[in-house]
A and B are shown apart, each in its own frame.
Chain A
Amino acid sequence: MQSLLLKLVTKAAILLLTCWVFWPSWGIPETAKKIRVVTTTPDLKALVEAVGGDRVEAESITTGDKDPHDLEIRPSHLVKLKGAELFVRIGLDHEPWAGRLLQRAGNARLFPGGEGHLDASRDVPLLETEVPRAGRTPGHIHGFGNTHYWLDPANARPITANILKAFSRLSPGDADRFGQNRATFLDRVDRALERWLRETAPYHGTRVVSYHNSWPYFAKRFGLEVVGFVEANPGVPPSPAHIGSLIERMSHHQVKIIVMEPYFSDSVPRLLAEKTGAAVVKLSPSVGGTEGIADYIALFDYDISRLVSAFREAGIPKRQESGR
């Protein structure tokens, strides 16, 4: 008798659990008015919010303070995706986990090609597209161009243009308001960009070494020359010969700055710094990467001020003429 009861309870529990996991519209109140957006990175979330204002509710899957390449999928991610109307991603194989996540969440409109799937890289002028595509790509070197394009503030324009298009389609009544939001935001970005360029102009052409090849857009915009990488094959610890030749070249060419993300191990950069007298500068690659970076403009405010003060401390001579 008791075992029968137990069986029934177990069956009911399993049934309930199954419903909870597979219920397609779990978590969407019928009266929701805001557009629900899930982005893969906090930078995209910041841009989405800049366009959508109070008409959207955006959430990011990764946080800016962890390596976005390895994400552990949690139940809450699936719940968020089930209720979302728009999924915004960096694209270009930046999020190797995205396909699996979308499949698992099973919200068909968010699938690639669906109306709720936005690849933010669509109209962005990409760098390093000349990386050959025919072969296998070792490590996680990106095969379709470098994916860290949000680190050039000028790319906010094409990215937000596509976000605006998607929002206007989802909520045509608010199209004007979205357009206005975007214009105001881009205006702010433009003015800030002018300031950032003024601050970095004296150091135009400064050579730096970066941890991974994740800063080419940033470097191009702000006139840095990335001459080498600490980890030539991302994820593989560097060999003594690689570090040795890096030390030799850095000392010979007076490279004084090593740029890295806060979430990588700084043991090798510190070794390089110690041997060459260079400084290790931890720049945030994303919104939320360091405490206090709350939006897209704050991200560059933080990075530029850190970089410029590092240049100043390293005693890098300013150039008199404005740019080359």
Chain B
Amino acid sequence: MNQALELLTVPFFACLLLTGIHAYLGLHVIERGVIFVDLALAQIAALGVTFAFLAGYGLQSTAAYFTSLAFTFLGAAIFSLSRMKGGRIPQEAIIGIVYAVSAGAAVLAVDRAPHGAEHIKYILVGSILTVSAQETFTLLLLYGGIGLFHWVFRHRLLLISLDPQEADRQGLWIRFWDFLFYISFGFVVTSSVQIAGVLLVFSYLIVPAVCGSFFSVRVGPRLAIGWVLGFAASVVGLSGSYVWDLPTGATVVCTFGLILILSAIARILPRHLSRIRAGEGHRYLWGTVMGCSALLLLGALYVMIHPRGSHPWLDLADRAVPEINLAFLSRVERETYLHSIDSIRRAEAELKRLQDMHLKVTWGEMEISAEMKGRLLQTLAGRTEIAWGDRMVLGTLREKARVRQRFILGLPAAVIGAGLLWMSFRRLMYYRSKRSKVPSLFV
């Protein structure tokens, strides 16, 4: 398994580079309110590559690279010109239009080309796992250069992003600086999208910046928080992909989602904790009761209306306390029920063993005769089929139990749910009437 770890070293450094530049650019993007500009620029660059490809140049050729660059400049020009002072059309609308039209144009352009669709797909769906050391080094140079540019002109660029009115008052040529900003941004996004894919780049751009602005309004701390969280997401995502054997890019994206949720909780928790300490704990308690009782009521109603449907909450209860279902089955049914559960467990272990054996046999690590090989395949299929049969038996018995539980379990649950819901509703209304101010979750 050392191979897998070794495979992840280069992607890890690539992820660090992505964190470095995107957490910073994300800050600009959030402040400007142009969240999807990276998708639009990547799509425009892809359109450029497509045109070069149609003109007969290879996907990796310099001609293709410069065409895509020219298209990116065009996109930068559009975005810098479409910023309107107090206009009624938000810039996000222009960005969306540019995205949709260039995506559509690319589809039309390659429709008749051999392997057309795949070519566009390659440009937009990089795979972080297969990034090479050389590509990572190129990224380092490119991002370093652009980072330097942003460092040198940081005052102007940040001022325009954070406070365009003030920048205008100081007499900065906003359209020009916007153009430079979008060009540098286009450079970064098109090269990182080719390596990491649209989803991953979007996550690196937006999530650290959003988390940063949860905790601070100043640029420095926001950047620091973004970098730390981006680093954490890279480490956790890559190791998660290794440990649980998952596709790498998707794992990192989901880690970002998790980190955002955790940061949001960390952001709002202190405030709410202090409220609880201040003696408002019962409000939270009754709020929770209200949510839970509403769920209970809905679940109970669903059991009564459609007992054969799927009821995850009853399944959960069943797994924790099997006696609930067993109580509703006859003695014979009970035996079958327990037998099926046991049989599925054994079949799963057996299947795993057989699959390992099958793998070894295909690779020739284990010699068996052709006849045995055939038997192995048949046993594999047979066992799988038997396990499915057992699952079906289990499902049928569960359904039987559900039908019998329909009113015996459903009615009391519904009554309890409705009662609690009413009580908590009354309580909360009472607290509300005592306090005129409506507290918000985030403020």
Contacts and interface: CB of A to CB of B under 8 A. Distances in A.
Interface of A: 63, 65-67, 130-135, 207, 225, 227-228, 236-245, 247-249, 253, 262-265, 267-268, 270-271, 274, 290-291
Contacts of A131: 381
Contacts of B126: 267
11 contacts: A66-B116, A130-B378, A130-B380, A131-B381, A207-B364, A239-B248, A244-B7, A247-B3, A265-B127, A267-B126, A268-B130
Given A132-B381, A135-B391, A243-B129, 12 more contacts: A66-B115, A66-B117, A132-B384, A134-B385, A134-B392, A207-B364, A240-B242, A242-B245, A245-B3, A267-B126, A267-B127, A274-B132
Contacts of A227: 362-364
Contacts of B2: 244
B129 to A, nearest CB: 6
Nearest to B128: A237
B377 interface: yes
A273 to B, nearest CB: 11
Contacts of B250: 237
Given A130-B381, A134-B388, A237-B127, A243 B4 contact: yes
Interface of B: 1-8, 114-118, 121-122, 125-127, 129-130, 132, 241-242, 245-250, 362-365, 377-378, 380-381, 384-385, 388-389, 391-392
Contact of A265 (B6, B118, B242, B364): B118
A262 B115 contact: yes
A264 to B, nearest CB: 7
* Across the A-B interface, the 10 shortest Cβ-Cβ residue pairs: A244-B4, A244-B3, A134-B388, A130-B381, A132-B384, A267-B130, A237-B247, A65-B114, A241-B245, A240-B4
A245 B1 CA distance: 7
A243 B241 CA distance: 12
Contact of B130 (A134, A242, A271): A271
B241 A240 contact: yes
A273 B132 CA distance: 13
Given A135-B388, A239-B246, A242-B245, A67 B118 contact: yes
A28 B129 CA distance: 53
Contacts of B125: 265
Contacts of B364: 207, 227, 253
A228 B384 contact: no
B50 to A, nearest CB: 15
Contacts of B389: 134
Contact of B247 (A66, A67, A130, A239): A239
B118 A264 contact: yes
Q: Which of B116, B250, B363, B391 has the most CB of A within 10 A?
A: B363
Nearest to B238: A240
Contacts of A238: 129, 247
Nearest to A266: B122
Given A135-B388, A237-B129, A263 B118 contact: yes
A284 B6 CA distance: 33
A227 B361 CA distance: 9
Contacts of A66: 115-118
B4 A265 contact: no
B1 A244 contact: yes
Nearest to A274: B132
Contacts of A274: 132
Contacts of A262: 115
Contacts of A134: 384-385, 388-389, 392
Given A245-B3, A249-B363, A65 B115 contact: yes
Contacts of B118: 66-67, 263-265
B1 A132 contact: no
A50 B7 CA distance: 49
Contact of B377 (A130, A239, A241): A130
B115 A263 contact: yes
A235 to B, nearest CB: 11
B248 A240 contact: yes
Given A134-B385, A291-B114, A248 B3 contact: yes
A201 to B, nearest CB: 20
A243 B7 contact: yes
A239 B127 CA distance: 11
